[in-house]
Amino acid sequence: MRRTALTLLNLIGAIGLISVMAGAPAMAQPYEPVKVVHSEQVQAGPYRLTAGFSTWPLKAMQSLDFTFAPDGGIGGKSGTLTLIAPDGGVQQNNLVRHPRNRKVWGLDIHALPQQGRWTMRFALNGPSGSGTGDVAITVLEQPGPPLGISWAISSLPLLGLVTLIVTGWRRTWPPSAQPQEERP
């Protein structure tokens, strides 16, 4: 009787496993397209470029998508984007296709680390020659509390866990060995 029940249970488990493994594969969900809520026009030599932003106004340390679309499309054109920070720091990137909008160049989920006046400098090359153009954008203060306060608050659960582990360890750890008195 017991052996029959065990065999039946194994059979049900095997059928369940096969049905799960043989089920229809999950449909891949397409990426959400980039939603541009604000754009700026830049003239880079003979090329007119539209810089699009997925969030506006821009805030420091806030991730967003940037798209860069030259008039006439990106075919036959190349270029670089130089981000100049308010403190003078420079970051240069080649203009590459945006991963979720392959018809334009862009930066996917990028954050500007400082508040202040940033400059985006575009250097484009194409059939009409080369050109450079700048657009200045203002980045507002970082949303939320300052990073130091955020880190301090978020580390409190870790400190509580460490305290709990140390307390439990001390209660269960055997006391140090005491010398035994010899009995006659």
| HSE toward the beta carbon, residue 118, CA cutoff 13 A | 21
Count of CB atoms within 10 A of residue 138's CB? 11
Percent of the chain with pLDDT over 90: 65
Residues 101/102/103/104 CA torsion (nearest 10 deg): 70
Given a cut of 70, is residue 92 above it in pLDDT? yes
- Report residue 9's pLDDT band, with 50, 70 and 90 as the boundaries: low
User: What is the rounded average pLDDT for all residues in the chain?
Assistant: 87
Q: What residue ranges define each of the domains in the chain, with the CATH number in brackets?
A: 38-139 (2.60.40.1930)
106-142 pLDDT, tens digit per residue, is 999 999 999 999 999 999 999 999 999 999 999 999 8
Count of CB atoms within 10 A of residue 10's CB? 10
Task: Return the pLDDT at 17.
Answer: 62
42-83 pLDDT, tens digit per residue, is 999 999 999 999 999 999 999 999 999 999 999 999 999 999
